Structure 1
């Protein structure tokens, strides 16, 4: 009960208006993730940034998928014509079986259709299965430009480079492709604000030399960068580790569970990162009970909407600079309420 009261107190005292809202894979709480529909939904809801995770096709086109393995988010497994493309690959130290973006040309990928990944938690999203193609990075940029022209509101891009070390082993330099795409699209981070994020270190260090864009070192509760054997994320968020990250990055992107303890109080990571000159962009705030701590759940269903405003405000109380969310419309509402 003490924890519940503390969580409630933090929720009502938090400066919820201060955080940038990053639409995690678009409005993925309302539409299948990484589709133009999800990104447009997020922009219309008022998100400050939309986040495309970038993988690469066989013919070297950047496209948006959460992972390079396609079966969780497309209908590829049901396509008989691609049955022989199923493979098992070792990615970042783990064996993964399925169909991979780098084994498909863009034209082949275009024949697939997106589907909801979390059908058990978000059955309503499955209504949109089969409607949308896998978008290219260029199409996402075009959408942002069109929506900015339509609304007069600035919307940022927050791409993540997925598995660049693995792709480099396959002969695909996703960093080089991404820099080329930035130049082709004229993206310098001004007309369209832009952060670039990655869980690996070397790609960000390369980007630090090749661009002037703000860079974000992603960190998780376990493990470490796939391209830095022996380095852990736990070490990277110590004062010494943060000072090292600050040499090439402008922010860290931690799992939100690294920002608050079980009692809802700050772990001190935000303060430590700020002391090192780094912003903190936490991931990911979601509305479903399955993603919320027990005191903030409502009812017993895993997919039932819990106390999202309290979750957002508890995190806001840490002073975090930005938060990723699957539900930007809810986040905008919380921020608007706090600003009043």
Structure 2
């Protein structure tokens, strides 16, 4: 299931499910993504108070659930420092799974995706196990493997409060027979130390996420001055290759934009990563002009094709059907 950079078509990673069409991180979003032709479904993982891994974009859930409408949980509203940033709201680690199951998901960006608001209040917060069950059920039905691509969210923070994400993640994956370098799994993180630790405990493929700016939060905690830009250099990529099999990059690291949102010339990131034997998966592809470079306003398919021409190995997409069609239209 793991693709190489030797001519295979890029994989499609449904970013939080088919989140352009359904509220993100719901079983409905993941199921639709599978129907639309994705290869992997991507849950962001956070923990409940009782140590269950669930799918939410953030551990603060006021933007993605109806928690504010539940007076029985009003006493749990608080302010916390998450990765150095003060956030006010309700946090998954203060709820048991049973409590969280009484909430319902809502569209995170309703002004931009008004069509998704019709589904507000319909869907539960899924556990990782429920997502795996869905992937396996649909794989059996359609006759091809649907992989999972979990992200450990805020791993340093969760470890600091006694709810480490990595151990339960590996336990669940092992219990569900995900084993070895060719299993249909990628484990991703914006931090480095948890991936390095995971690399000593599992042969499953690991993905170092690289943002357009800033530092991994564990670097900040440990006094390491390196930035994501440093990790994206040829030498930084060689270091990543010691513990990971792929990088997941902000698309602007490969195709920068100028001050009027037009694309500039591509960087050497794909070439450098491939020399280091790393796959390159790019995030995030979306249809809305707000997210597109000026060159492709109203034409998201052409953005995919340009990135395909640069030799990437996978795309994170909110609209997996558009990614699928772009792959079908492109000659690899």
Q: 1:17 to 1:329 in 2, by over 3 A?
A: farther
Task: Give the alignment of 1:155-234 within 5 angstroms.
Answer: 155-188=146-179, 193-229=184-220, 230-234=225-229
Could you state the TM-score of these two structures normalised by the residue count of structure 1?
0.90
- Equivalent residue number for residue 277 of structure 1: 277
SS of the residue aligned with 2:170? helix
C-alpha separation in 2, matches of 1:198 and 1:255: 13
Q: Does the residue aligned with 1:18 lie in a helix, a strand or coil?
A: coil
Deviation at 1:156, TM superposition (A): 0.8
Shift of 1:264: 4.9
State the distance in 2 between where 1:221 and 1:125 align.
Answer: 28
User: What stretches of structure 2 of length at least 5 have no aligned partner?
Assistant: 1-6, 258-262
2:251 to 252, 256, 264: 256
| Corresponding residue SS for 1:227 | helix
State the Cα deviation string for residues 177-233 of structure 1 (Å, max 9, x = none): 111212222221589500000000111011101100010000101111111122210
Q: Distance in 2 between matches of 1:158 and 1:131?
A: 24
2:33 to 31, 39, 42: 42
User: Deviating runs (4+, > 4 A) in structure 1?
Assistant: 189-192
Q: Which moved more, 1:308-317 or 1:121-130?
A: 308-317
Q: Which secondary structure state, in structure 1, belongs to the residue aligned with residue 111 of structure 2? A: coil
Of the candidates 86, 106, 118, which is equivalent to residue 115 of structure 1? 106
> In the alignment, which residue of structure 1 is the partner of 2:122?
131
Residue ranges of structure 1 left out of the alignment (5+ in a row): 1-15, 298-305
Aligned partners of 2:247 and 2:279 also within 8 Å = yes
User: 1:288: which partner in 2?
Assistant: 288
Residue 261 of structure 1, CA deviation: 2.9
Q: Which residue of 2 aligns with 1:66?
A: 57
Structure 1 residues 242-261: Cα deviation after superposition (integer angstroms, max 9, x where no partner):
11111001111110011113
The superposition leaves residues 26-61 of structure 1 with CA deviations (integer Å, 9 ceiling, x where unpaired) of: 000000000000000000111011101110000000
The aligned residue for residue 337 of structure 1 is: 329
The residue number in structure 1 matching 2:241 is 246
Name the counterpart of 2:97.
106
The TM-score normalised by the length of structure 2 is 0.92
Residue 286 of structure 1: how far off its partner (Å): 0.3
CA contact (8 A) 1:155 1:192 kept: no
Alpha-carbon distance change, 189 to 286 in structure 1, aligned in 2, over 3 angstroms: farther
- 2:181–2:203 Cα contact (<8 Å) kept: no
Match of residue 317 from structure 1: 309
Kept in 2: contact 1:17–1:338 (CA 8 A): no
Query: Can you list the C-alpha shifts for 1:94-116, whole angstroms capped at 9, x where unaligned?
Result: 11111000100000000000000
Per-residue CA distance 1:296-326 (angstroms, 9 max, x = gap): 21xxxxxxxx211111111112111111000
Tell me by how many angstroms 1:295 deviates: 2.4
What secondary structure does 2:74 align onto? helix
Q: Which of structures 1 and 2 has the larger relative contact order (alpha carbons within 8 angstroms, sep 6+)?
A: 1
